[in-house]
């Protein structure tokens, strides 16, 4: 019996360590100072309703849910558990089902469960694993390694009516070895991942094939006199996009990278290999920072350790930040130029030029002014085919904004006047598409807020204007809202908020339309209890322009949307 108990206990310990919710790294030297056991969390419930006369329902008329979040802590290690039950069903996060532990002793760190180790932005980054990892940083030596599951299997579901992309389970491992510290270092990196083609049930396998990937790379940083920082990341990736195909030897015309990566993964007709890299040079001065960056990702480059990385792109950017007049004047500028079609084998090439400037001025302790501009230039160029001017994308987009704010603080009252004016211009230089796409939009708002400092309440009056113009068509909106908030009772435990707005809309079709909105909510908070209730109502009269724009699409004569809800939670 005793051996059996020890065996069960050992299994439980292993299960706890190898399953996953993230916990902070724990230094084993301080484990004796931690409390043996603590628990905190919350439970709650909510109910909502929604009513609309729209012909197509966008949400259910009623909804409810019960939820709970509990976090027991054993010697400083958090072990969260949660549940959710609603009208659609229920879901549970079992205890230890997403547990992660990173015990640390001096320069040794062990990663167990769900963890994330960053290698470099072009090899392994932004991808968590469930398994085991080790990080060592003795003096000038740098080492990191991991092994675990990157993706869990997802079977194709054709019965629930909710599409969810299927995927195979994926196992990966990686090693990083280098010298240096956080300011100066050089690392060599290897990453490998492979899908289990038998793990998931996929009916339509078009676009869903099991893959295998190997990546070798390096990462470098050099810091000079604490003012100049130079970073470089480089990687070569070999990817077999369908491991079910028959293996084949490298063809005679294979590139050097293909021959190199074929030594790390089984190659077939779906295997591709290419490289990616990025560099940045940063200068740090008092009151001024500038950064020059360059990034190039070849069309066939893909690392399964960087799931959100785009390929076939070359990007150059320049960012500047000026902090002047003792912080009262801050100016930030950016300029970037990027394009695709790096191998010159696409029918067309897209070039995007982007620039922006943001100026914030603290004129005085009462007056603040913000000015901003952003611009985008979209140019489509010839690739393998010659494009007619009538089909080329050739657009400029300009956005301007100004936001002033003036505040007067008194002993019992505060007064704030603020405003915003923005202008957007889409200039289509293509004569064939310009009449349908060129447009501009001017909008502005003026707000006044009266605050009652001692009563912890305020009232805000706002007016707004907007005009959108496209060729001979225009839409114009003029409106106002009034809103207020207050905390009442001696304990200020009851908070109230409400707003009412009216908008008048006019278009070039000659019709005038008005609509009003109302919203309100109340919350009561005392010690561990929180009770909230809200309601909103939006009424939009019939607009004959809908018959012109949507033609045969059914439209409500007048839309009436009302929603509300109530919730309660208890925290401990």
Going by pLDDT thresholds of 50, 70 and 90, the confidence category of residue 552 is very low
Report the distance separating Cα 146 and Cα 125, nearest Å: 13
Pairing of strands 98-101, 20-21: parallel
Tokens representing residue 483 in the block: 């809103």
pTM of the model: 0.79
Q: Select the more confidently predicted residue: 507 or 562.
A: 562
Using the 8-state DSSP alphabet, how is residue 178 labeled? E
**Distance in angstroms (rounded) separating the CA atoms of residues 462 and 530:** 30
pLDDT band at 12 (very low <50, low <70, confident <90, very high): very low
* 16 pLDDT more than 50: no
Q: What's the pLDDT at 247?
A: 86
Structure confidence by residue, pLDDT tens digits, 52-97: 877 666 778 888 888 888 777 777 666 667 777 887 655 444 444 4
Q: Are strands 37-52 and 108-115 parallel, antiparallel or unpaired?
A: unpaired
What is the reported pLDDT for 550? Answer: 44
Give residue 556's pLDDT band: very low, low, confident or very high (50, 70, 90): very low
Band of residue 4 on the pLDDT scale cut at 50, 70, 90: very low
pLDDT at 253: 67
Q: What is the pLDDT of residue 538?
A: 84
Which range (113-122, 155-164, 372-381, 437-446) has the least confidence?
Answer: 155-164
Nearest C-alpha neighbor of 464 from the set 414, 514, 410, 504: 504
> Which of 42-56, 359-373, 469-483 has the highest average model confidence (pLDDT)?
359-373
DSSP state of 510: S
Per residue in 272-328, pLDDT (tens digit) is 999 999 999 999 999 999 999 999 999 999 999 998 899 999 999 999 999 999 999
Residue-level pLDDT at 171: 96
- What does the alpha-carbon distance between residue 146 and residue 127 come to, in Å, rounded to a whole number? 12
How large is the average pLDDT for residues 199-208?
A: 72
pLDDT bucket at 523, cuts 50 / 70 / 90:
very high
pLDDT at 232 over 80: yes
User: What average pLDDT score do residues 503-509 get?
Assistant: 83
pLDDT for 555: 43
The average confidence (pLDDT) of the chain is 85
**What mean pLDDT do residues 396-410 have?**
96
Q: What percent of the chain has pLDDT over 90?
A: 55
Strands (DSSP E) contained in 325-412 are 329-339, 348-362, 367-382, 394-409
Determine the Cα angle at 103 with ends 102 and 105, to 5°: 135
pLDDT 10s digits, 355-401: 999 999 999 999 999 999 999 999 999 999 999 888 899 999 999 99
Is the pLDDT confidence value at 551 over 60? Answer: no
């Amino acid at each position: 019996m005793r051996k059996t108990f020890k065996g069960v206990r050992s299994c439980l310990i292993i299960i706890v360590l190898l399953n996953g919710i993230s916990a902070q790294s724990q230094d084993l030297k301080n484990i004796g100072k931690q409390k043996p056991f603590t628990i905190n969390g919350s439970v709650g419930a909510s109910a909502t309703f929604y009513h609309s006369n729209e012909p197509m329902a966008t949400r259910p008329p009623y909804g409810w849910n019960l939820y709970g979040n509990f976090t027991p802590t054993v010697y400083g290690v958090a072990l969260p558990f949660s549940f959710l039950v609603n009208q659609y069903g229920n879901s549970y996060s079992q205890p230890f089902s997403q547990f992660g532990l990173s015990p640390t002793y001096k320069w040794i760190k062990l990663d167990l469960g769900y963890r994330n180790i960053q290698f470099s932005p072009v090899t392994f980054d932004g991808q968590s694993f469930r398994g085991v990892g080790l990080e060592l940083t003795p003096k000038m030596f740098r080492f990191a390694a991991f092994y675990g599951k990157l993706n869990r299997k997802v079977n194709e579901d054709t019965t629930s009516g909710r599409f969810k992309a299927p995927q195979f389970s994926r196992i990966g491992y990686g090693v990083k070895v280098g010298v240096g510290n956080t300011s100066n270092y050089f690392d060599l990196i290897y990453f490998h991942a492979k899908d289990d083609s038998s793990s998931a049930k996929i009916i339509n396998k078009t676009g869903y094939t099991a893959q295998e990937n190997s990546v070798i790379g390096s990462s470098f940083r050099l810091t000079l006199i604490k003012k100049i920082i130079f970073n470089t990341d480089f990687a070569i990736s070999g990817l077999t996009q369908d491991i079910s195909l028959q293996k084949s030897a490298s063809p005679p015309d294979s590139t050097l990278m293909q021959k190199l990566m074929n030594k790390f993964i089984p190659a077939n007709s779906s295997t591709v290999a290419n490289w990616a890299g990025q560099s940045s040079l940063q200068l740090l001065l008092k009151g001024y920072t500038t950064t020059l960056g360059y990034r190039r990702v070849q069309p066939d480059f893909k690392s399964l350790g960087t799931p959100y990385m785009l390929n076939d792109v070359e990007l150059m950017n320049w960012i500047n930040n000026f902090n002047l007049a003792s912080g009262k004047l801050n100016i930030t500028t950016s300029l970037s130029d990027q394009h695709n079609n790096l191998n010159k084998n696409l029918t067309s090439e897209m070039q995007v030029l982007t620039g922006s400037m943001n100026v914030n001025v603290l004129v005085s302790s009462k007056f603040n002014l913000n000015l901003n501009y952003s611009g985008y230039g979209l140019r489509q160029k010839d690739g393998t085919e010659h494009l007619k001017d009538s089909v080329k994308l050739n657009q400029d987009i300009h956005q301007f904004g100004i936001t002033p704010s003036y505040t007067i603080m008194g002993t019992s009252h505060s007064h704030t006047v603020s405003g915003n004016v923005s202008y957007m211009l889409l200039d289509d230089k293509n004569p064939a598409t310009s009449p349908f796409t060129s447009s501009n939009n001017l909008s502005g708002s003026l707000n006044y807020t009266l605050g009652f400092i001692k009563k912890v309440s305020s009232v805000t009056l706002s007016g707004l204007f907007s005009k959108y113009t496209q060729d001979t068509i225009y839409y114009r909106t003029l409106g106002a809202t009034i809103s207020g908030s207050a905390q009442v009772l001696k304990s200020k435990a009851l908070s109230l908020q409400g707003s009412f707005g009216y908008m008048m809309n006019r278009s070039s079709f000659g019709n005038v339309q008005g609509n009003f909105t109302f919203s309100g909510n109340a919350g009561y908070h005392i010690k561990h209890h929180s009770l909230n209730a809200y309601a909103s109502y939006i009424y939009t009269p019939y607009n004959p322009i809908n018959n012109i724009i949507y033609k045969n699409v059914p439209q409500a004569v007048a839309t009436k949307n009302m929603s509300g809800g109530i919730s309660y939670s208890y925290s401990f």
